[in-house]
Structure 1
Amino acid sequence: MRSPQKPSQEAAPALQAPPAEAGQGPTFAELGLQPALLAGLERLSIGRPTAVQRLAIPALRRGRSALCAAETGSGKTLAYLLPLLERLLGRPEAPAEAAGPAAPRGLVVLPSRELAAQVGAVAAALCAPAGLAVRGLTGGGAAGGLRRQLRAPPPGPAVLLGTPGALREALRRRFLGLERLRWMVLDEADTLMDESFTELLEEILAHATQVVVVGATFPAGLSETLAKFTDVDRFVTLSTQSLHRLPPHVQQKFVRLKGRDKLPELLLLLKERPASGGAVLIFCNSASTVNWLGYILDDHKIKHLRLQGQMSAAARAGIFASFQKGEVSVLVCTDLASRGLDTSSVQLVWFLHVFSCIL
C-alpha cells in the first residue's frame, strides 16, 4: 500500500519479491508503456512493477476484458490504470464538444467518494504528463454540483472516476454521455454487484468495449451476476499467487471479551499506546455505534476522527485524508473505510464485532 506522503510500492514488505527474486521481471519501460506514463510513475516515486502489474499490464494493453484479483496493497490501481491509459494514448481522439454532455473515453466506478478521491489523485499524476484530463464525480450535493464537476475546465474529461449514485444521477439528467466510452473498470467489484445498481451497470456495459473487474475478494456467483450484463466468456482471469493468503508481516490476535469488558479494554489500549505506535483503525458495525464510541472517546479526551456513511458529503470531505496525513492517529469508522483505501500508516486495526451489545 502506498503512503500518502511518498506513494511508493515499498510500503508493504510482504508484497515485494523475496530477496532471491529482487530485481527480476520486466521494468515498466520493458512492459512497453509510453514515456508520458513513465514520467507519471516518476512523479509518484514508483519504481518496478509488482506481481499483479506484471500480470495485468500486458493483457489489458491487448484490449482483453478481465477479472483481476489480487491481495490488498498489491498495486491493483496501477495494474489497471497504466494499460488502460496507454490504450487511450495509442488512439487519440478529438476532445468532446464543450456544449454537450461530458463524454469520457474511460470510466472507473468506485464504491465510495474517499476511494474515488484516492484513485483520482493517482490517475491525475499519471495523466498530467500525457495531457489527459481526469475528473471525479461524487454525489451528496445538488444536481448543479454534478454539472460543475463534469464541466470544470478543461471540459470533456478523457477519464472519469465516479461513485454509482452520482453516475446514475448524471446519466439521468443527461450531464453525462457514454457514446465515446472505450473501457470501464469496476473497482472493489463485490461491493458494486448490488441490485440497486443493476440498471446503471447494464447501461454502462452496453457501451464499453473493454471491461475490467477488480477486487481483493470475489464472492461466489460473481460470474453469474456479471453474465446478466456482459459476455463473461471473453474475460481472462488475472490473479496473484498471494491471493487470500495472510501476509507474513501482519500479526493477528483474537481476544474473546464479554460485552461489558470491550470498552475498558479498548480505552486502556488507546491510552497506553505510545505516540510513536502508528495509526489505529477501529471498525464498528453501524453508524450509530461509530457516533456512540466517538462520544466516549471525547469524554476520555482521546483525539480521533469519525467516518460513516450517514454523514453528509461536506462532513465526510477530507476526513480520511486527514487520517492518512497523520493529523489524527485514531479513526473510528464503519466498513466504509475497509475498501481499497491506503492505510499504510496503520499499525493496529481493532474490530469491535457487535459492539452495540454493550449499550
Structure 2
Amino acid sequence: MTKFTDLGLAEPLLKALAAEGYETPTPIQAQAIPHILKGRDLLGAAQTGTGKTAAFSLPMLHRLLGKPRQMPQRAVRVLILSPTRELAAQIETSIRTYAQFTTLRSTVIFGGVPVGKQIRALGEKVDILVATPGRLLDLVDQRAVSLREIEFLVLDEADQMLDLGFIHALRRIATLIPKERLTLLFSATMPKPIREIASAYLTDPVEVAVTPVATTAEKIDQRVIFTEQGDKPALLAKTLNVPELERAIVFTRTKHGADKVVRQLGQSGIEAAAIHGNKSQGQRERALGGFRDGSLRILVATDIAARGIDVDGVSHVVNYDLPNVPETYVHRIGRTARAGAAGLAIAFCTPEERGDLAAIEKLTGVKPTPIGEVPYWDGRTPKKPQQNRGGRGQQQARPQGQGRPQGQQGKRSEQGQRPEHGGHNRNHAGGAPRPERHERPRNPERAPRPEAATQRKEGASAKEGLGGVAFLQQRTQQPRTNGARRRAR
C-alpha cells in the first residue's frame, strides 16, 4: 500500500502530514500527486469527500518550495478558484495546515465581507490565493492583486462553477494570467461543458478518475420515505429524534424553505440553524462553527453549501426536498460517510417528486431502500390539480335543454340583457309582446349588418398585434354600430 513517504514529498510537508495523523493517501491523492510533481496539467474526477484538496495542495506546495522566488508587491504564485465561500475557506485552512512548517503564506478572499481587510492581507507577502471568482475580479479592478505572476491555476469543483454562472468570470480570469502555467481542474462530475473548459484551459492533461462519474460512496446507506408535502415537518422531527444521530444536514430546495424548516424544528423543540445565500457571512460562520464543535447538531442548508461543508461525524443527511438536478443529490449525500466513515442518507419523496427520484436512480444506479409502505406509482409525475379561480366561464354545466335557474333569469331581466335564443320575448308593462328589433328598426339606413359581429371578432383578435396608435386608427375606421344598436332598442 502506498504511503505519503513513498511519493517524494518535501520533508516539511511530510512532517505536517504526520502531525495531522495522515499516513496513507486516498486513491485520488495516490494517482494525482505523482503527475503534478512532474509538472503535468491534470483533469481529475472524483466524488466529494475523497481528499481532492490534498491531491493538488501537497504537490503544489512541494514545487513552490523547490523554486523560491522574490515576488513583486501584491503578486501571487498560485490561484485556486472555488465556487462558494465555505469551500474557499475550507481549502485555505487545509493549505495552511499542510504548509505550517514552511515559509509559504496563503490567504482567502470571497464576497459577503468588508473588502478592506482582504486588501490589507494582499498587501503582505502572499504565495497562495484562494478566491471566489466574483470577489477576485473586484480586487483585480481595484489593483489590489496582480495575476501576472501566476504559476499554478487550480479550478476546484468546476462543474458547480458552471451551475452558479461563473463561466464569464473564468474566461476573463484566463486572460489575466500567464499562458505558461500549470493548470489543475478537479470536478465531482464530468459533463460535456467541463470537457470544453478543460480543452481550453489545460494543455495535454493527464486524466485521473478514481470513481465513475456521479457515483455515490459505498458506505452511505440510502433510504427513501414516500410522504405528502404537508406531512414532511412532523416526519422530519421524528427522523431527527433518534439516539444514533450525531450530526445531521437537512437540504432544502429554497432559502425560504430552509428558514421555514428551522422554525418548524424549533416548534418541535429541536435546535437548528440555516445556512444559505441570504445569510450574512457572520451568520454562516457561526452556524458552521457551532456545527463543527458539536454545539449545534442540526444544520439546514441549500445546495450552495452542498460542497462547502467538510465536517467529520455527519451521521445523517436528509433530503427534505429532492433536487431538480440528479448530480446535486450525489453532492448532498456526500456530506456524510467522509474519510471512510459510514453514513445514512434519507430522502423525503412526495408524489410530485417521483420523477426526480427516478432521475436520481437512473444516474447513480442505486435505488434507495423504501421505509414504510410504498404507494403505487405508474412512472409518471402527477400534475398539480387546476385551481378554480372563479370568474366568468366557470359555471357548472347544465344538462342539455335545461333552462337557467329562476334566480338568474330574474337577474338578467333586471339588467335588460337579451334572452336566450329560442326563449320568449320580454313583455312590456301593458302585457303586449315586444316586437323583434329587426322588424321595426328606427333607423333602417344605419341598422347593423349581419356580418358586423364577425368583423368585430376579427378586429378583437387582431388588436393584440397592434400598437396603441395603430389600434386607435383601426377603431376610427370601423363603422359606429354601437349607437345604432342602442337606438334600435
Q: TM-score, normalised by structure 1?
A: 0.84
1:216 paired to 2:188: yes
1:164 pairs with one of 133, 140, 146: 133
1:48 pairs with one of 24, 30, 53: 24
Alpha-carbon distance in structure 2 between the residues aligned to 1:223 and 1:208: 21
1:263 pairs with one of 221, 233, 238: 233
Alpha-carbon distance in structure 1 between the residues aligned to 2:211 and 2:252: 31
Q: How many residues align?
A: 322
Q: Residues 170 and 208 of structure 1: is their aligned pair in 2 closer, same or farther, counting only changes over 3 Å? A: farther
Task: Check conservation: 2:96, 2:105, Cα contact below 8 A.
Answer: yes
Task: Check conservation: 1:307, 1:333, Cα contact below 8 A.
Answer: yes
1:225 paired to 2:194: no
- Per the alignment, in what secondary structure is the counterpart of residue 157 of structure 1? coil
The aligned counterpart of 1:73 is 49
RMSD over aligned Cα atoms: 2.1
Task: Check conservation: 2:110, 2:135, Cα contact below 8 A.
Answer: yes
Alpha-carbon distance in structure 2 between the residues aligned to 1:83 and 1:318: 32
Question: Residue 103 of structure 2 aligns to which amino acid in structure 1?
Answer: G
1:284 paired to 2:252: yes
Question: Residue 157 of structure 2 aligns to which amino acid in structure 1?
Answer: E
What per-residue deviation string (whole Å, max 9, x for no partner) do you get for residues 309-355 of structure 1?
Answer: 11122222232232122111100010122115313311111112269
The aligned counterpart of 2:344 is none
What per-residue deviation string (whole Å, max 9, x for no partner) do you get for residues 113-135 of structure 1?
Answer: 21122111111111121210111
Identical counterparts, % of pairs: 28
The aligned counterpart of 1:143 is 115
Task: Check conservation: 1:138, 1:163, Cα contact below 8 A.
Answer: yes
- After the TM superposition, which residues 192-207 of structure 1 pair with which residues of structure 2 at under 5 Å, given as runs? 192-193=161-162, 194=165, 195-207=167-179
Task: Check conservation: 1:43, 1:125, Cα contact below 8 A.
Answer: no
The aligned counterpart of 2:106 is 134
Question: Residue 329 of structure 1 aligns to which amino acid in structure 2?
Answer: R
- Per the alignment, in what secondary structure is the counterpart of residue 88 of structure 2? helix
The aligned counterpart of 1:311 is 279
Alpha-carbon distance in structure 2 between the residues aligned to 1:160 and 1:292: 37
More displaced 10-residue stretch of structure 1: 239-248 or 73-82: 239-248
Alpha-carbon distance in structure 1 between the residues aligned to 2:146 and 2:92: 20
Q: Residues 332 and 255 of structure 1: is their aligned pair in 2 closer, same or farther, counting only changes over 3 Å? A: same
Alpha-carbon distance in structure 1 between the residues aligned to 2:172 and 2:278: 23
Alpha-carbon distance in structure 1 between the residues aligned to 2:19 and 2:212: 28
Alpha-carbon distance in structure 2 between the residues aligned to 1:318 and 1:235: 40
Q: Residues 163 and 208 of structure 1: is their aligned pair in 2 closer, same or farther, counting only changes over 3 Å? A: farther
- Per the alignment, in what secondary structure is the counterpart of residue 222 of structure 2? coil
The aligned counterpart of 1:12 is none
Q: Which runs of 4+ in 1 moved over 6 A?
A: 354-357
Question: Residue 162 of structure 1 aligns to which amino acid in structure 2?
Answer: A
1:331 paired to 2:299: yes
C-alpha displacement at 1:197, in angstroms?
A: 2.1
C-alpha displacement at 1:262, in angstroms?
A: 1.3
Task: Check conservation: 1:137, 1:150, Cα contact below 8 A.
Answer: no
- Per the alignment, in what secondary structure is the counterpart of residue 309 of structure 1? coil
C-alpha displacement at 1:205, in angstroms?
A: 5.0
1:176 pairs with one of 145, 149, 154: 145
C-alpha displacement at 1:74, in angstroms?
A: 1.5
Question: Residue 137 of structure 2 aligns to which amino acid in structure 1?
Answer: R
1:104 paired to 2:76: yes
The aligned counterpart of 2:389 is none
Question: Residue 221 of structure 1 aligns to which amino acid in structure 2?
Answer: P
**Structure 2 unmatched ranges of 5 or more:** 323-347, 353-489
The aligned counterpart of 2:390 is none
What per-residue deviation string (whole Å, max 9, x for no partner) do you get for residues 253-282 of structure 1?
Answer: 122211111112112222x312x5211110
- Per the alignment, in what secondary structure is the counterpart of residue 153 of structure 2? strand
2:33 pairs with one of 45, 57, 60: 57
Q: Residues 198 and 80 of structure 1: is their aligned pair in 2 closer, same or farther, counting only changes over 3 Å? A: closer
Q: Residues 204 and 262 of structure 1: is their aligned pair in 2 closer, same or farther, counting only changes over 3 Å? A: farther
- After the TM superposition, which residues 32-47 of structure 1 pair with which residues of structure 2 at under 5 Å, given as runs? 32-47=8-23
- After the TM superposition, which residues 5-16 of structure 1 pair with which residues of structure 2 at under 5 Å, given as runs? none
C-alpha displacement at 1:299, in angstroms?
A: 2.1
Question: Residue 338 of structure 1 aligns to which amino acid in structure 2?
Answer: A
1:125 paired to 2:125: no
Q: Residues 138 and 340 of structure 1: is their aligned pair in 2 closer, same or farther, counting only changes over 3 Å? A: closer
1:237 pairs with one of 190, 207, 213: 207
C-alpha displacement at 1:226, in angstroms?
A: 3.9
Alpha-carbon distance in structure 1 between the residues aligned to 2:191 and 2:213: 13
2:261 pairs with one of 271, 279, 293: 293
What per-residue deviation string (whole Å, max 9, x for no partner) do you get for residues 228-265 of structure 1?
Answer: x43x4511111114654333321001222111111121
What per-residue deviation string (whole Å, max 9, x for no partner) do you get for residues 24-70 of structure 1?
Answer: 22x21221101011111122221111111110111001111111111
Alpha-carbon distance in structure 2 between the residues aligned to 1:252 and 1:180: 47
**Structure 1 unmatched ranges of 5 or more:** 1-23
Q: Residues 282 and 139 of structure 1: is their aligned pair in 2 closer, same or farther, counting only changes over 3 Å? A: same
Question: Residue 133 of structure 1 aligns to which amino acid in structure 2?
Answer: R
Q: Which structure has the larger Rg?
A: 2
Question: Residue 168 of structure 1 aligns to which amino acid in structure 2?
Answer: L
Alpha-carbon distance in structure 1 between the residues aligned to 2:224 and 2:177: 42
Task: Check conservation: 2:147, 2:177, Cα contact below 8 A.
Answer: no
